[in-house]
A = this chain, B = another copy of it.
């Protein structure tokens, strides 16, 4: 317990990344209020002030405080109390620490940024470069997302020169995707003073939910099955996908 206090305070002072397992109770007051009764959790404190609490199962943290939070470890009746506050976000947390399981931490240095392929952006790029994926004769004009008509993924003309708005989804397209497409088409028609039938709307996604498809059809839009590209599949087709494993 004494070693724990020393290590935490030392790490906070030195801007280390800290990780410890403790039996604790967690209260949070901010965007909501929450209470987590006594149990073992993993707590992480990062040099930017981020604090994350993980239960021993599951992907998502059970509690957290964002960047810019300050932390103070105090002695308390039940043991120790880690008080965290972020005044600018109006968020507060109290972790009552009953027992310490382990602690580790050191300075961690990392300037790298993750590179991801297969996202929606890659998909709209692919369609821009290979417009036949939508249909023969499709001529994309723009893949800018931020136009005055809205954040349109791909925008162009079909073979009989009607405007075409393509909304890409990297996975199953749902209601919201259809509503998004509808909003873009409506804005486009209004801005350009065009009538029904002069602007086509297309959802490009690997699949679409049945209800979303009904709504799409009803609104007079179309669906085109397109799968987002992946780097290795694109550049290293000779090697089977799972060879590395």
Contact = CB atoms under 8 A, between A and B. Distances in A.
Interface string A134-152: 0000000000000000000
A41 B110 contact: yes
B114 A63 contact: yes
Interface in A42-81: 42, 44, 46-48, 50, 52, 54-59, 62-64, 66-67
Interface string A221-245: 0000000101110000000011011
A6 interface: no
A33 B102 contact: no
Contacts of A46: 54, 56-58
Contacts of A107: 40, 101
A160 interface: no
Contact of A17 (B21, B26, B118, B245): B21
Interface residues of A, number: 73
Interface in A192-245: 228, 230-232, 241-242, 244-245
A176 interface: yes
B117 A33 contact: yes
Copies of this chain, count = 2
A179 interface: yes
Contacts of A56: 17, 46-48, 108-110
Nearest to A93: B245
B42 A44 contact: yes
A167 interface: no
Contacts of A32: 116-119, 170, 228, 230
17 contacts: A17-B42, A17-B56, A19-B19, A21-B108, A29-B232, A32-B119, A33-B116, A34-B117, A36-B112, A39-B111, A39-B112, A47-B57, A48-B58, A57-B110, A62-B114, A101-B106, A104-B104
Q: Which 3 pairs between the two chains have the least Cβ-Cβ distance? A: A39-B110, A104-B104, A32-B118
